[in-house]
């Protein structure tokens, strides 16, 4: 059990003043051998690559450690405003390659290992992804941290150290099987436990009012169940700038004080067993993307994160400012990654009032000047609501504060719309009903000074639709911050071939300043450059094909068009539309309609939430169709289909580099931004996509000639809903009719009668929210255009280069600069080292 250690300040400079570690090959060899032999206790007979990995990770980590300390000192000394990114998810992926790239020691490390007879690439493959997130939202948090460090911004990430991250996906009989991801089983060499900063988080109990010595009324919580939050810090290195920021992840443990009642009643073992219940809070990541499941444990996780993080910040503030909170809002800013951490609003109110003795108005003024909220979705099933009774039981004081926030807010509403009880009902943070619900998005909006969407279209739909009345009240709160991805991981690291070709032409400034990549544009007209670009792409496709052959047993010919859709499986993302197109191509082959054919390899990958029936059935359909297509001798190299199991960050690093055509085919108005689209674009894939999310902005950057657009617009989707009649669309389109006929006849489920009926019925339903049939024809035509261009290698390669060259906007460095200019107002802090 973790003891909270007494803070004892040791004034011994000799203890920590060490010369900087050398970054050259001999020093890396020495340190690697030292860790391998003395720390891990292995010898030359040990062949496990895991220990090689850990020895190198420790060697790299100590080079981060010294810069980490320098960064802490630089931030303390600068005494500038600090940003905090609060997120239930951080989808970090692998850390080793990123750390080496950012420190600039990849080549030296590779050489050092080579001298020891070890291959760096084999070793790097041994690292397990840190999969503490579901998909786009969690990966965005990871890319943001990378950019904040690259831009030298004093930003700290706060999250949860789940014992089990995103489940591992296996495919058995074409169906998804989930396996627990015990990513910590070999230890995690990048984290540092900091028990000295342990916080106590309190659940349950009830509130009492009491009078302080100076006669004021105050609230306190009594009879609570207390859980300890122990922080584990992970270094976040900036790109070659000596900055190392911190991601602080909380682990739940039992308080080390045994319950005396239980103890004296002879329930020693029961009392010890309570530890289990406490540790459950951070046991597992909820695997739902874009849908909430309303489980009590999830609300516990949310409050646990918000409370531990805020107490941590406030405790540091109190030490530094001797309890003076007057400048708190000017020096601290919290960005809420969706509503998941939005308990931070009432929790900061609680801390300021109940613990620091502030009055409501002062506490509210501080809170609403340092909270900012990012919305990530318009899908109603993803908007978080918690039942009021649950809140009452789990977080009674927090609920009281929410109700007071609501009462004061509704008073404002009634001034804005006098006598309009409908407005009061519509805007209330509490939704009426048989069981009243707390609307977390409304709480986040009311408690924040900034509300942003994540792409231009999404932000517009927020202010004109979902949050319209709030926009009317506070237009200045609302803003857009189009997402991005970090060019370090998503180009410089994952695509070394393309990176060196780019750097050869325009220098290496693009890694830290992606706008410079526009410099490639003129080279798109150079046939010699195009042929080298094509050669790199082809090598990346071979690398991807090798993985597909090994993992899926399907042979992709690297000369074929690699047509890829990888992302969470969700109906709104329309993997189903992709499958219908595949079936259409198969049908054409079977009918001998193969004039002007483009050979295609279709790769689809992604995880379905374990409780999402339709998504899991779509995975089964993809696999069944793949089997029929791949085993048909008439098809041969004309068409191959594979499902990539266990899609994750490290898989995407190989996939995006080897893709020709990036499928971004969500129903318009449903994908808030997308970020997979940006990774593909950066790596020279061309998008086939709807006018949805950031696709619109991608198309704007590359121009219509370098983008395969199709489908209804967001407005057309909404207009069509009322009269949507898929049966007549199918009847009027012979290609779609044959596709549906193949599905309905059971061609892909010969010995599994009727299993795909729910999918067929969904397509035929006039209330199909995703309107798959409506976009089929337009999608097929766009795919035809793409196939035709692909046959002209020069034209395709030119488009590919233009896509990379125009990807500058989609760096998270741009996104983060906008967050900082418009919302955070932080000053970059340079870090001197040594
Ligand atoms: C980028 C990324 C995502 C997000 O992909 P979208 O296509 O934007 O949904 C999801 N999962 C992983 C592993 C990613 O790297």
Report which DSSP code applies to 691. Answer: S
Sign of CA dihedral 563, 540, 135, 630: positive
CA neighbor of 285 nearest in space, from 676, 775, 732, 648? 648
Q: Per residue in 71-82, pLDDT tens?
A: 999 999 999 999
For residue 538, give every residue at least 6 positions away whose Cβ sits within 8 Å of its Cβ, in sequence order, or none.
Answer: 558
Confidence at residue 2, expressed as pLDDT on a 0 to 100 scale: 45
Cβ 743 vs Cβ 817: under 8 Å? no
- Sorted by where each begins, the domain ranges of the chain are 20-78+105-126, 80-95+130-448, 538-805
Give the max Cα distance, the chain.
91
Which conformational region is residue 333 in: left (phi greater than 0), alpha (psi within -120 to 50 degrees), or beta?
beta
Buried b (16+ CB within 10 A) or exposed e, 712-733: bebeebeeeeeebebeebbeeb
Place of tokens 């990849």: 106
User: How far is residue 414's CA from residue 85's CA, in Å, rounded to a whole number?
Assistant: 34
The preferred substitution site among 486, 567, 648, 682 for testing ligand 1, maximizing ligand atoms within 8 Å of CB, is: 567
Buried b (16+ CB within 10 A) or exposed e, 392-404: eebbbbbbbbbbe
Catalytic residues: 376, 567-568, 573, 675, 679
Q: What is the distance in A from the centroid of ligand 1 to the CA of 629?
A: 27
User: How far is residue 545's CA from residue 491's CA, in Å, rounded to a whole number?
Assistant: 19
The preferred substitution site among 568, 648, 678, 694 for testing ligand 1, maximizing ligand atoms within 8 Å of CB, is: 568
The CATH code of domain 80-95+130-448 reads 3.40.50.2000
Confidence at residue 294, expressed as pLDDT on a 0 to 100 scale: 84
Cα 353 from chain centroid (whole Å): 34
User: How far is residue 708's CA from residue 775's CA, in Å, rounded to a whole number?
Assistant: 14
Which atom of ligand 1 is least distant from the CA of 647?
A: 13
Sign of CA dihedral 693, 697, 703, 707: negative
Q: What is the distance in A from the centroid of ligand 1 to the CA of 4?
A: 39
Which atom of ligand 1 is least distant from the CA of 664?
A: 7
Sign of CA dihedral 814, 815, 821, 825: negative
Radius of gyration (Cα) for the chain, nearest Å? 28
For residue 12, give every residue at least 6 positions away whose Cβ sits within 8 Å of its Cβ, in sequence order, or none.
Answer: none
Q: Per residue in 221-272, pLDDT tens?
A: 999 999 999 999 999 999 999 999 999 999 999 986 655 565 566 677 777 7
Q: What is the distance in A from the centroid of ligand 1 to the CA of 604?
A: 13
Helices (H), 448-495: 456-461, 468-473, 487
Task: Give me the sheet containing 437-439, strands edge to edge.
Answer: 385-387, 437-439, 430-431
Report which DSSP code applies to 600. Answer: E
Which atom of ligand 1 is least distant from the CA of 673?
A: 8
At 609, give phi and psi (nearest 5°). Answer: -55, 135
Confidence at residue 258, expressed as pLDDT on a 0 to 100 scale: 54
User: How far is residue 510's CA from residue 507's CA, in Å, rounded to a whole number?
Assistant: 7
Cis peptide before 409 (omega within 30 of 0): no
Which stretches of the chain drop beneath a pLDDT of 70?
Answer: 1-11, 256-266
Q: What is the distance in A from the centroid of ligand 1 to the CA of 407?
A: 40
Confidence at residue 47, expressed as pLDDT on a 0 to 100 scale: 81
Confidence at residue 11, expressed as pLDDT on a 0 to 100 scale: 66
Q: 538-805, what's its fold?
A: Rossmann fold (3.40.50)
User: How far is residue 390's CA from residue 437's CA, in Å, rounded to a whole number?
Assistant: 9
Cβ 764 vs Cβ 784: under 8 Å? no
- Topology alike, domains 80-95+130-448 and 538-805: yes
Q: What number of H helices and E strands is found in the chain? A: 34, 25
User: How far is residue 603's CA from residue 622's CA, in Å, rounded to a whole number?
Assistant: 10
At 92, give phi and psi (nearest 5°). Answer: -80, -30
**Ligand 1 first shell, C-beta below 6 A:** 135-136, 139, 567-568, 648-649, 652, 674-676, 679
For the entire predicted model, the pTM comes to 0.97
């Amino acid at each position: 059990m973790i003891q909270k250690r007494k803070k004892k300040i040791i004034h011994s400079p000799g203890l920590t003043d060490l010369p900087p570690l050398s970054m050259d090959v001999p020093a890396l060899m020495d340190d690697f051998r030292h860790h391998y032999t003395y720390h891990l206790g292995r010898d030359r007979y040990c062949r496990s690559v895991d220990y090689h990995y850990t020895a190198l990770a420790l060697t790299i980590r100590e080079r981060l450690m010294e810069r980490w300390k320098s960064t802490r000192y630089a931030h303390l000394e600068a005494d500038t405003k600090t940003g905090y990114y609060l997120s239930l998810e951080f989808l970090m992926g692998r850390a080793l390659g990123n750390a080496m790239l950012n420190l600039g020691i990849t080549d030296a490390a590779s050489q050092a290992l080579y001298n020891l007879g070890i291959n760096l690439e084999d070793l790097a493959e041994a690292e397990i992804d840190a999969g503490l997130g579901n998909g786009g939202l969690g990966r965005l948090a990871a890319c943001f941290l990378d950019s904040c460090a690259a831009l030298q911004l004093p930003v700290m990430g706060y999250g949860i150290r789940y014992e089990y991250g995103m489940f591992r996906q296996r495919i058995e009989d074409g169906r998804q099987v989930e396996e627990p991801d015990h990513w910590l089983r070999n230890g995690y060499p990048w984290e540092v436990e900091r028990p000295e900063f342990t916080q106590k988080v309190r659940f349950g109990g009830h509130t009492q009012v009491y009078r302080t010595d100076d006669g004021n009324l105050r609230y306190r919580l009594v009879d609570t169940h207390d859980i300890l939050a122990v922080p584990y810090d992970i270094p976040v290195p900036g790109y070659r700038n000596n900055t190392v920021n911190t991601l602080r992840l909380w682990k739940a443990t039992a308080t080390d004080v045994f319950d005396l009642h239980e103890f004296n009643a002879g329930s020693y073992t029961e009392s010890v067993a309570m530890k289990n219940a406490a540790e459950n809070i951070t046991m597992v990541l909820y695997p739902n993307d874009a849908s909430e499941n309303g489980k009590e444990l999830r609300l516990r996780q949310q409050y646990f994160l918000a409370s531990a993080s805020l107490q941590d910040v406030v405790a540091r503030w109190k030490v530094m400012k001797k309890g003076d909170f007057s400048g708190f809002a000017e020096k601290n800013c919290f960005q809420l990654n969706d509503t998941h951490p939005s308990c931070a609003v009432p929790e900061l109110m609680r801390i300021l009032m109940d613990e620091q003795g502030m009055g409501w108005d002062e506490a509210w003024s501080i809170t609403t000047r340092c909270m900012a909220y990012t919305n990530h979705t318009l899908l109603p099933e993803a908007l978080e609501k918690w039942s009021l009774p649950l809140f009452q039981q789990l977080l009674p004081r927090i609920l009281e504060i929410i109700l007071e926030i609501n009462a004061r807010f509704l008073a404002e509403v009634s001034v804005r719309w006098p006598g309009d009880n409908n407005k009061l009902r519509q805007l209330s943070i509490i939704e009426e009903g048989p069981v009243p619900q707390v609307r977390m998005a409304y709480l986040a909006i009311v408690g924040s000074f900034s509300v942003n969407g994540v792409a231009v279209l999404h932000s517009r739909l927020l202010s004109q639709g979902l949050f319209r009345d709030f926009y009317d009240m506070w237009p200045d709160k609302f803003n857009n911050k189009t997402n991005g991805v970090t060019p370090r991981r998503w180009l410089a690291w994952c695509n070394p071939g393309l990176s060196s070709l780019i750097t050869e032409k325009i220098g290496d400034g693009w890694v830290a300043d992606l706008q410079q990549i526009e410099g490639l544009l003129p080279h798109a007209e150079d046939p010699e450059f195009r042929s080298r670009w094509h050669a790199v792409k082809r090598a990346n496709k071979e690398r991807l094909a090798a993985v597909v052959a090994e993992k899926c047993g399907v042979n992709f010919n690297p000369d074929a068009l690699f047509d890829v859709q990888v992302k969470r499986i969700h109906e709104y993302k329309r993997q189903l539309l992709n499958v219908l197109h595949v079936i259409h191509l198969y049908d054409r082959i079977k009918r001998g309609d193969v004039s002007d054919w483009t050979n295609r390899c279709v790769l689809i990958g992604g995880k379905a939430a374990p409780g999402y029936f339709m998504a899991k059935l779509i995975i089964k359909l993809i696999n069944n169709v793949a089997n029929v297509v791949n085993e048909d001798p008439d098809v041969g190299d004309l068409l191959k289909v594979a499902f990539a199991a266990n899609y994750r960050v490290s898989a995407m690093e190989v996939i995006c580099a080897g893709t020709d055509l990036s499928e971004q085919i969500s129903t318009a108005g449903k994908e808030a931004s997308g970020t997979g689209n940006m990774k593909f674009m950066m790596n020279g894939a061309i998008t086939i996509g709807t006018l949805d999310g950031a696709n619109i902005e991608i198309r704007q950057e590359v121009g219509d000639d370098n983008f395969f657009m199709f489908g209804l617009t967001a407005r057309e989707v909404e207009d069509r809903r009322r009269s949507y009649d898929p049966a007549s669309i199918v009847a009027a389109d012979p290609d779609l009719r044959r596709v549906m006929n193949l599905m309905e006849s059971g061609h892909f489920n010969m010995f599994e009668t009727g299993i795909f009926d729910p999918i067929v019925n969904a397509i035929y339903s006039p209330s199909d929210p995703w309107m798959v049939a409506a976009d089929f024809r337009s999608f097929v035509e766009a795919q035809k255009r793409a196939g035709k261009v692909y046959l002209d290698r020069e034209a395709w390669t030119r488009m590919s280069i233009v896509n990379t060259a125009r990807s500058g906007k989609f760096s998270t460095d741009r996104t983060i600069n906008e967050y900082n200019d418009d919302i955070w107002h932080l000053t970059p802090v340079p870090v001197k080292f040594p």
